[in-house]
Amino acid sequence: MAGQHYGRRVMTPLDQELADYLALRRALGYRLVRPEKLLNQFLNYLQDVGANTVTVEAALDWARLPASGDTNWWAHRLSVVRGFATYLHALDPATEVPAADLLPHRPHRATPYLYSDDDVTALIAATASLRTPLRRATFATLIGLLSVTGMRVSEGIALDRGDIDLNAEHLLVRDTKFGKTRELVLHPSAIDALRHYLRLRDRLPSAKATPAVFVSTAGTRLIYCNVHWTFHRLVYLAGLTPRPAPCRPRIHDLRHSFAVRSMLDAYTAGQDGQARLTLLSTYLGHVSPASTYWYLSASPELMAVAGKRLEAHLAGRP
């Protein structure tokens, strides 16, 4: 396919503009691993077709590669170019910016499965079916930690021993999705669970060779796909079933559930919901509260509570 061969392109001013664009976005916390790869492919394509600026026609032609591709993938490719073109247009008005709706796409975000306390308890109880004491403890502790911190699964897997301070009762989440590090304060019960798990973990001689907190029976850091496979087995054993068709229990939904519980607790305590939302966004490691709001919008219970508070505010009631 045209535009896929790195290192063969003659450098042009667009290459420097791309470097500046990526540097600016990364300074705002974005990693942009895939966009960088795609935009380099796009610049290769422009050179192949003899174009020295971004046009809507060129962007569309490139975005619709391969011809047999999925329309959502085409729309994603065009959105990546659109971001870069918007930046370029501010520097050179001759740059054409593709409209946001040029290519149709189907939203495919899954509806979050909001776990109740009983659901989490059932998942942890299901770990008793796993084969070894270490494996049982590893998944029970990992699921428990994700449910009370709202960490991403990848962040839990990436935790090292040095990231946890049992005495100060906090942990550090390093180099996250947006390249940031954040500190999470833990409840004493979570600290007790981690302390118990680490004692068991340290009895495995092979585990001493890895800094990872959560380890496999071979003593190595857990692998993302294996965690998901085991979690799906635990979901089955716990008797958790899909609700509406697109709402299936996923391990990532422990994060959604934490966010919803945090906001419900704030409303129940009569706290300022907007202030809590801002704090929650930071705690979850989101770039902005807008991302956190999407987590919350899937909860009818939370939306009902928020609606009642709004009605009370408009009526002048406390």
Domain assignments of the chain as residue spans, ordered by start = 13-91, 117-237, 253-314
CA distances to 141, 204, 205, 206, 226 from 209, in Å: 21, 10, 8, 6, 20
Whether 252 is catalytic is yes
Catalytic choice (76, 177, 180, 182): 177
Higher pLDDT, 122 or 25: 122
Contact (CB, 8 A) for 130 and 230: yes
Whether 136 is catalytic is no
The sign of the torsion formed by the CA atoms of 199, 200, 204, 210 equals negative
> Above pLDDT 90, what percent of the chain?
61
Contact (CB, 8 A) for 45 and 38: no
pLDDT above 50 (res 3): no
Whether 115 is catalytic is no
Catalytic choice (152, 201, 256, 261): 152
Contact (CB, 8 A) for 118 and 257: no
Contact (CB, 8 A) for 96 and 55: yes
Residue 165 pairs with which residues in a beta bridge? 170
Whether 286 is catalytic is yes
Residue whose token pair is 């270490």: 134
Whether 152 is catalytic is yes
Answer yes or no: pTM beyond 0.85: no
Angle between helices 253-268 and 133-149 (to 10 degrees): 50
Contact (CB, 8 A) for 285 and 182: yes
pLDDT above 70 (res 316): no
Catalytic choice (25, 252, 276, 309): 252
Mean pLDDT of 108-115: 77
What is the structure's pLDDT at 44? Answer: 94
Catalytic choice (77, 82, 201, 255): 255
Those residues with Cβ within 8 angstroms of residue 78's Cβ, 6 or more apart along the chain or in another chain: 59, 60, 63, 98, 102, 103
What is the structure's pLDDT at 180? Answer: 76
Summarised one tens digit per residue, pLDDT across range 206-254 is 888 899 999 999 999 999 999 999 999 999 999 999 877 568 899 999 9
Whether 295 is catalytic is yes
Written out in words, the top-level CATH class of the domain with range 117-237 is mainly alpha
Helix (H) / strand (E) element for 106: namely none
